[in-house]
Amino acid sequence: HARRIEGLDKNIWVEFTNLLADHPVVNLGQGFPDFSPPNFIKEAFTRAINNGPNQYTRGFGHPPLVKILAKFFGKLLGQDIDPFSEVLVTVGAYEALFCSFQALIDDEDEVIIIEPYFDCYEPMVRMAGGRPVYIQLHPKPVDGRLMTSADWVLDPVELANKFSKRTKAIVINTPNNPLGKVFKREELQVIADLCVKHNVLCISDEVYEWLAYDANEHVRIASLPGMWERTITIGSGGKAFSATGWKVGWAIGHKDVINHLQTVHQNSNYHCATGAQQAVAEGFVKEYGCLGAPESYFFNLRQELQLKRDRLAACLVSVGLKPVIPEGGYFLIVDISAVKVDLPDSKIGQSYDYRFAKWLIINKGLATIPVSGFCSSEHKKDFENFLRFCFVKEDSTLTKAEQILQEWK
C-alpha cells in the first residue's frame, strides 16, 4: 500500500456499523435522523427523477444550487459571493473537507485540530502529508451542577502557543461534534486574530449550523473582519434537511482558495448526484423566503431537537448519569464513570469507552459511540469515561432507549 494510508485503516463508523449488522439495537449511535426529511424536499427530488435533470450537470455544482447557496450565504456572511468561483458543491461535507486538506496542505504542514473532534479530520490531514497539532477543550469546574458544553473552553495562551511557522490551517467545528459546543463570538475572535496574525487558513465545519439551541447564536467565523479571505465554510444539505444519505455538501470561500479545491474535485469525484443537488437547491430557495420564521424547516427542526435533547438529558440524569448539556448539534456526551460494569474483555487493549459501548450494544441492545474515538491517541485516556448519544431520533426511539436505561438502573 501507499505510505499515505499507513496506519489509517481503522474507522469507528465502519467498526460500529459492522457490529450493528449482527445485533438489533435501539440506535443512538451514528448521527442521522431516523425520521423522514420534509415532504417539500422529497417532492423536489421525485420531480427531478421524473422530469429531470437526470444527467450530468456542471461539475463544480449544479447552477441552481450554487446560485441559491451564494445568495443565501452572501446574506448570512454579509459578503458578495460569486456562485461560480466561490461555491463548490461536493459529495457531502466529507468531500469538502477532503478537498480542503488535499488542496491546501503540503508535506510537514501543521494543522491545528481542537479536541474532541469529528474523527475524519486527523486521517484526512495525514493523508495529505500534514501533521495534526492538537489542542484540547478543557472542562471548567462546575460546583455540582450539570455541565454544559459552554463549560468546555480553549485556553487562549495554550492556543497561541500551538501556532508555529509551519501552521497552515486550523480546523474548527461549530456546533461541535461530539460535544455540542457552540463557539461564542469572542471565542471565534481569539481564533480569528491568531489566523490573521500568523497568516493561517481556517477550515470551518458548520454542518450543524441551523441547530444552536436556547439563546445560543451560530456565528460564522468567515463573517469576522479579515476572515473571508482565509476561511473555507463547509456545510451539508444532508444535515440541513435531515437527508444524510443524499450526500450533498459544499465549500464556500474566496475564489483564490476555492479554485484549488476545484482542482482536487475535478480530478477525483468530479460531480455530485444531479437530482439531489436540484432538490437541495429547491429546499434552500424555500428556506430563503422564510428564514427565522415559524414556517421555516430549519427553525422547526431546531425547536423539535431542543425538546429531544432535554428529554434524553432528563432521562440520563434520572438514572444517575451525567450528561453534558449541548448548546447545539445532534449529540450529547455522557460521563459513565458512575456506572460500574464488569467488562469481560478488559485485556484486548481497547479503551474503556469502546469496550463499554460494545457491551451496551451486545448486552443491552443500545447503540452509542465511544468519545475516545474523537481524540488523538495521546489524549484518548482523557475521554474514555464518555459515551456519545445522538438524539435526532423519533420520540418512539427515545422512549425505547429510555426503557433500556430505566430497566438497567
Q: Measured between alpha carbons, how far is 381 from 237 in angstroms, rounded to an integer?
A: 34
- Biggest distance spanned by C-alpha atoms of the chain: 60
CB of 181 to ligand PMP, least distance (A): 12
Among 27, 177, 278, 351, binds ligand PMP (CB under 6 A): 177
Handedness of CA 336, 315, 400, 408 (dihedral sign): positive
DSSP string, 76-123: HHTS---TTTSEEEEEHHHHHHHHHHHHHPPTT-EEEEEES--TTHHH
Strands 26-27 and 366-367, bridge-based pairing: parallel
**Residue 40 lies near ligand GLN (rule: CB under 6 A):** no
Number of CB atoms found within 10 A of residue 164's CB: 11
Among 16, 27, 28, 31, binds ligand GLN (CB under 6 A): 31
**Residue 20 lies near ligand GLN (rule: CB under 6 A):** no
**Residue 30 lies near ligand GLN (rule: CB under 6 A):** yes
Q: Could you give the C-alpha distances from 43 to 32, 38, 298, in angstroms and in order?
A: 20, 9, 18
CB of 390 to ligand GLN, least distance (A): 7
C-beta closer to ligand GLN: residue 239 or 254: 239
**Residue 13 lies near ligand GLN (rule: CB under 6 A):** yes
Tell me: cis bond preceding 38? Omega within 30 of 0 counts.
no
Q: Measured between alpha carbons, how far is 376 from 171 in angstroms, rounded to an integer?
A: 14
**Residue 31 lies near ligand PMP (rule: CB under 6 A):** yes
Q: Which residue is nearest to ligand PMP (CB)?
A: 92
13 binds, among ligand GLN, ligand PMP, none (CB under 5 to 8 A by kind): ligand GLN
C-beta closer to ligand GLN: residue 31 or 275: 31
C-beta closer to ligand PMP: residue 177 or 350: 177
C-alpha cell at 311: 428529554
Cβ-Cβ contacts under 8 Å for 210 (sequence gap 6 or more): 218, 239, 240, 298, 301, 302
Angle (CA) 373-376-382 rounded to 5° is 75
What is residue 320's DSSP assignment? T
Q: Which residue is nearest to ligand GLN (CB)?
A: 31
SS3 153: strand
CB of 12 to ligand GLN, least distance (A): 8
Strands 386-390 and 322-324, bridge-based pairing: unpaired
Residues 160-189 that bind ligand GLN (CB under 6 A): 177
Residues 223-242 as x/- pattern, contact with ligand PMP by CB under 6 A: -------------x-xx---
**Residue 179 lies near ligand PMP (rule: CB under 6 A):** no
Residues 76-135 that bind ligand PMP (CB under 6 A): 92-94, 118
Element (H, E) at 90: strand 87-91
Residues 202-221 that bind ligand PMP (CB under 6 A): 205, 207
CB of 329 to ligand GLN, least distance (A): 9
**Residue 328 lies near ligand PMP (rule: CB under 6 A):** no
Q: At which residue does the C-alpha cell 485556553 appear?
A: 155
Interacting residues with ligand GLN (CB under 6 A): 13, 30-31, 177
Interacting residues with ligand PMP (CB under 6 A): 31, 92-94, 118, 173, 177, 205, 207, 236, 238-239, 244, 247, 249
